[in-house]
């Protein structure tokens, strides 16, 4: 199988939380009565950025200029799926986030990406699709809440560079509304290993996913602290504080956990990984 080898993340996109706020409710974590403290969120975001840089990756920042009415644009994991120099830009499920794709697409184009957008099929980027398995040649896509199963074939056609980059797209069905994106319940750590909260998936998907990678099962209490929503940079794993069992499990497997406070972002249903997009 020919492949584009995906090494440790070296370049990561982040979007400034300038307009971040909880202004609507599109997942069970959001409650307009529990507003986010934007000033605190900015500090947490800067701390996350500094931690990512300390772990050896470069952060490329998107300024959300003109995106005043898009408070969730900080969650740029939902911008697109990236493969080489191609970007499959998201078509959001909820109208509240629909406008974001224009900003992401413009930014990705300015960085030299060839972009694709499907007007008929909804898919929420790497929030709902993660590379894993040997050669990072399998894209596991969460379906059932936000992203459409029909995207699998479309992604494969558009992202397969001149037919040379052979990869497969596998769908996994999300069944627990609290885990509405795959990146809040599944986190590939390298080609062979991943964090996973099984009950977020239906039983068929739980079993099927194990065909592609070995799973380290995260307990529910850690999953609810967004332990699976971690930024992985080589052996470094950056996650929201308090997921003690997961941190131990990571250490036992040779990884270095870095706990950061993402509490203001948890109010919108996101944590560290949601605020990042791997650019290679
Ligand atoms: N409030 C946002 C939403 O519901 C949070 C997105 C989190 N992003 C992610 N990749 N899980 O869409």
CA 74 / ligand 1 centre spacing (Å): 9
CA-proximal residue: ligand 1, atom 7 (nearest):
270
Measure the CA–CA gap between 213 and 222, rounded to whole angstroms. Answer: 20
Predicted confidence at residue 5, as pLDDT, reads 46
pLDDT in tens, 181-227: 999 999 999 999 999 999 999 999 999 999 999 999 999 999 999 99
Active site residue 275: no
Q: Is the pLDDT of residue 108 over 90?
A: yes
CA-proximal residue: ligand 1, atom 1 (nearest):
268
**SS3 state at 158:** helix
pLDDT in tens, 93-102: 999 999 999 9
- 97 Cβ contact list (under 8 Å, min separation 6): 26, 70, 72, 78
Q: For residue 181, give the ligand 1 atom closest to its CA.
A: 11
The least confident of 1-5, 140-144, 150-154 is 1-5
Q: Which pair of tokens denotes residue 5?
A: 């080898």
58 DSSP assignment: E
Ligand 1 pocket test, candidate residues 147, 181, 226, most atoms within 8 A of CB: 181
Please identify which residue in the block is written with the tokens 């997942």.
Answer: 27
Distance set, CA 80 to CA 24, 44, 88, 117, 209 (Å): 22, 23, 5, 9, 22
CA 249 / ligand 1 centre spacing (Å): 26
Q: Is 269 in the pocket of ligand 1 (CB under 6 A)?
A: yes
Confidence of residue 85 (pLDDT cuts 50, 70, 90): very high
Average pLDDT score, the chain: 95
Confidence of residue 3 (pLDDT cuts 50, 70, 90): very low
Q: Is the pLDDT of residue 1 over 70?
A: no
Measure the CA–CA gap between 176 and 126, rounded to whole angstroms. Answer: 19
Predicted confidence at residue 102, as pLDDT, reads 98
Confidence of residue 165 (pLDDT cuts 50, 70, 90): confident
Active site residue 181: yes
List b or e across 150-182, with b for residues whose CB sees 16 or more CB atoms inside 10 angstroms: ebbebbeebbeeeeebebebbbbbbebebbbbb
Predicted confidence at residue 189, as pLDDT, reads 97
CA 68 / ligand 1 centre spacing (Å): 17
pLDDT in tens, 13-67: 999 999 999 999 999 999 999 999 999 999 999 999 999 999 999 999 999 999 9
CA 29 / ligand 1 centre spacing (Å): 10
Predicted confidence at residue 6, as pLDDT, reads 52
Predicted confidence at residue 166, as pLDDT, reads 80
Q: For 235-254, what is the mean pLDDT? A: 98
**SS3 state at 87:** strand
Q: Give which of 220, 215, 209 is closest to 178, Cα–Cα.
A: 220
Q: Is 78 in the pocket of ligand 1 (CB under 6 A)?
A: yes
Bridge partners for 123 per DSSP: 91
Predicted confidence at residue 68, as pLDDT, reads 97
30 DSSP assignment: -
Predicted confidence at residue 280, as pLDDT, reads 79
Q: Is 57 in the pocket of ligand 1 (CB under 6 A)?
A: no
Predicted confidence at residue 8, as pLDDT, reads 66
Predicted confidence at residue 14, as pLDDT, reads 98
Confidence of residue 161 (pLDDT cuts 50, 70, 90): confident
| Catalytic one of 101, 181, 240, 258 | 181
Predicted confidence at residue 9, as pLDDT, reads 72
ipTM > 0.95 (yes/no): yes
Predicted confidence at residue 2, as pLDDT, reads 40
Query: What share of the chain in percent tops pLDDT 90?
Result: 92
Q: Is 128 in the pocket of ligand 1 (CB under 6 A)?
A: no
CA 256 / ligand 1 centre spacing (Å): 25
Q: Of how many residues is the chain composed?
A: 280
Q: Which pair of tokens denotes residue 15?
A: 């979007």
Measure the CA–CA gap between 118 and 92, rounded to whole angstroms. Answer: 11
Predicted confidence at residue 169, as pLDDT, reads 96
């Amino acid at each position: 199988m020919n492949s584009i080898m995906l090494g440790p993340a070296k370049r990561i996109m982040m979007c400034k939380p300038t307009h971040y706020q909880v202004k609507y409710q599109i997942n069970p974590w959001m409650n307009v009565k529990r507003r986010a403290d934007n000033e605190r969120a900015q500090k947490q975001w800067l701390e996350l950025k500094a931690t990512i840089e300390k772990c050896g990756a470069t952060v490329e920042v998107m300024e959300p200029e003109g995106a005043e009415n898009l408070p969730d644009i900080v969650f740029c994991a939902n911008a697109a799926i990236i493969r080489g120099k191609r970007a499959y830009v998201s078509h959001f499920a909820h109208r509240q986030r629909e406008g974001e794709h224009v900003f992401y697409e413009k930014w990705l184009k300015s960085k030299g990406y060839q972009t694709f957008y499907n007007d008929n099929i909804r898919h929420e980027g790497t929030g709902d699709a993660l590379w894993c398995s040997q050669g990072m040649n399998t894209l596991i896509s969460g379906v059932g809440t936000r992203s459409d199963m029909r995207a699998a074939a479309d992604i494969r056609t558009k992202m397969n560079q001149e037919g040379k980059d052979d990869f497969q797209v596998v769908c996994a069905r999300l069944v627990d509304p609290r885990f509405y994106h795959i990146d809040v319940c599944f986190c590939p750590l390298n080609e062979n290993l991943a964090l996973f909260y099984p009950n977020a998936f239906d039983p068929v998907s739980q079993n099927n996913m194990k065909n592609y990678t070995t799973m380290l099962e995260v307990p529910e209490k850690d999953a609810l602290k967004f332990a699976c929503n971690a930024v992985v940079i080589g052996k470094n794993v950056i996650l929201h504080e308090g997921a003690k069992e997961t941190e131990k499990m990571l250490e036992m497997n040779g990884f270095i956990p870095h706990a950061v406070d993402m509490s203001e972002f948890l109010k919108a249903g996101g944590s560290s990984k949601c605020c990042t997009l791997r650019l290679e």
